[in-house]
Copies of this chain bind each other. A is one copy, B any other.
Amino acid sequence: MRLKLGLATAVALTLAPVAQADEGMWMPSQLPSIAAQLKAAGYQGNPADLADLTKPPLSAVVKVGGATGAFVSNEGLVLTNHHVAFGVIQYNSKPERDLIQNGYVAADRSQELPANPDFRLRVTTGFDKVTDKVLAGAKGKTGRAYFDAVDAASKALVSECERDVGYRCSVVNMFYGRDFYLVKQLELRDVRLVFAPPRAIGNYGDEVDNFVWPRHSGDFTILRAYVGPDGKPADYSKDNKPYTPPAHLQIASEGVSEGDYVMLAGYPGITYRHRMAAEFADQIQWRLPKSVEVMKQLQGVIEDSGKADKQAAIRYASQLQSLKNGIKRFSGELEGLKRSDAVSIRRKDETAMMAWLDKQPSAKTLKPQIASASKLLADANATRDRDLLFALMQSQTQLMRSAITLQRLGAERAKPDAVRETGFQQRDEDLIAGMLKQVQRRFDPAVEKRLLTALLTRYQQLPDAQRVPEFDAAFGRTPAELAKTLDGVYGATKLGDEAQRLHWLKASQAELAQSDDALLALAAKLQPALTRLDEQRKGREGDLLRLRPAYMEALIAYREQQGRAVYPDANSTLRVSYGKVTPLKARDAVSYAPLTSTEGIVEKNTGEEPFDAPKPLLDAIAKGDYDGYRDAKSGVMPVNFLSNLDTTGGNSGSPVMNAKGELVGLNFDSNWEAVSASWMFDPRYKRAIHVDMRYMRWLMDKVYPAPHLLKELGVPAK
């Protein structure tokens, strides 16, 4: 009944403007259900052909590390971003052959250079719903037990799936625990570098232009996947042969212009669009501003310390940079969410949904679950100040973190490996050792004490309900007690010595618990509290996994009667978004056209990094030999274009296709105004930035000629 109503409404609405036009990271299986919208937007293919991500054309889209790429020839050529393949380029660079600086054109297959051995391409070959299997053992459980049951079932499914050699499997959950899928991916291990532009093209503008539109970057690289003589995934070998992909995309002969339909497929990482209104409010009214406030205080501490002590300035340079980046990003996200009025929009929407739900039969089962989820979130909020401070106490210190980690590891090591906490298993010990080793280069006792003083003074000022007895006992209740404790502990501890830290890495739980090192002894006192809080958090996460699906059920049903489909929040699985080439009115009186040209490269060029376009490129621009590559409408030579496609981190390298499904662009960034899109898609500001395929083709034709590759790509040199 519900489904019928939904479809009817959807069809009825195709001629009317859709409220959330162009928003959506759709699972391919959802596309047939929004076929009418796709058609109305301008898609000329059959939406049903896009339904299965394991079949052509979507099977041409591959996972490249945490990002995306696409097969573009029948013999395994893969197109992805320069920044995604940067490790491969770096791996093949030597002082006498600097591929980062100079780029690379493999003259023939024998010149194609093997990637770093840990580089992987993943081709999705299976995507099966396994919700029943995953939840079978979880039914009736709550909290941590629910979580553990889901986890165990998922691990079993993965383990069984990976018996098929050459495949990687994972269980992903959609709609926050409502649906579970088993993803099976062929893992290609022999990948080679075929074509890369010089850094000053592939990363033109670097950090200065990061998140910036207008952009002028040739952020692409071409790789080729190889398999063993038997056609199966294999490590690099001379005898390997190019992989024949299940599908490949064809580069369009023409480009796109403002208003043209475009679509994109890729692996977006994470979004929070369907979080509850209370979570939006928490994020915008508390988490982002409070994090920025505390991080700015820590930034101040480090900067002040660095002024007086150059050595300290150097040791904390990287931490300072990371704080600054975090502050910038959080501030941008906050600014965007406020500009979009996200709190009140989400609140209003949820209130309307709950009012609607009241009148539905499903209210009886869904409402109590939603109420429970709300209560869990409210409970978590009651101690959010403390939890933020404790998290920073560990992430922003070196010695304190080492001591806490050592104590926790000691405790976990007393258990069988299989039941040790994730992150503290045998397989994690190398990582922990590495962390303990790099302390030296990043630590200064005076600075760490000042950072802890800042954080723990805030802690001391929290109301009783947020404080924990172990911390109060360890650090005292007054600034004077805190100072005395820190002075005492940091004056006495020997953990500043690397050998000492590595010694304790091997120590038993008992030895650690009785350690006479002042800092380890302090950490031992804190340990019960930290473990208890960790357990609480994990229990809450398990319950949210159990309860959130009710909220999603209500939301999906509510949207359906509005005539709108709901896509699941991003989770690094293959999604499709559609929209159009779109300009951006970023601010009062400021308009950005959706297409940049080679003229802009010259305008930005200073001759100095990061605006140091290579001479061959500047010469070619001066020559202006653009025939066959110019934008038909404006007559300029295109470089990048802008669309309103729905993307997030992970969509780097996603192929952008025209109405016929032909490749017209390569996604590589989004605009600064869209930083908040992980929470809310605001059609006024959300844009994605793409390399125009005409620019890539022109570079490969006129500037760094690779006629053999253009031929293989089906777009021969002019």
Contact = CB atoms under 8 A, between A and B. Distances in A.
A214 B603 contact: no
Contacts of A591: 590-593
Contacts of A99: none
Contact of A588 (B339, B587, B589, B599): B599
Q: How many copies does the complex hold?
A: 2
A603 B587 contact: yes
Nearest to A598: B588
Contact of A596 (B214, B588, B596): B588
Interface in A73-110: none
Nearest to A335: B606
A34 B216 CA distance: 44
A455 interface: no
Nearest to A640: B589
Interface centre among A587, A594, A596 (most CB of B within 10 A): A587
Contacts of A588: 214, 216, 596-597, 599-600, 603
Interface in A546-602: 587-597, 599-600
Contact of A592 (B339, B589, B593, B594): B589
Interface string A589-621: 111111111011001100000000000000000
Contacts of A216: 588
Interface string A211-255: 001101000000000000000000000000000000000000000
Nearest to A600: B588
Contact of A590 (B339, B590, B595): B590
A663 B590 CA distance: 26
Interface string A438-458: 000000000000000000000
Nearest to A636: B588
A471 B9 CA distance: 91
A592 B589 CA distance: 5
B593 A214 contact: no
Contacts of A594: 589
A592 B590 contact: yes
28 contacts: A213-B589, A214-B587, A214-B588, A214-B589, A214-B590, A216-B588, A587-B600, A587-B603, A587-B604, A588-B596, A588-B597, A588-B599, A588-B600, A588-B603, A589-B592, A589-B593, A589-B594, A589-B595, A589-B596, A589-B597, A589-B600, A590-B590, A590-B591, A590-B592, A590-B593, A591-B591, A591-B592, A591-B593
10 tightest Cβ-Cβ pairs between the two chains A and B: A588-B600, A214-B589, A589-B593, A591-B591, A589-B596, A588-B599, A588-B596, A587-B603, A589-B592, A588-B597
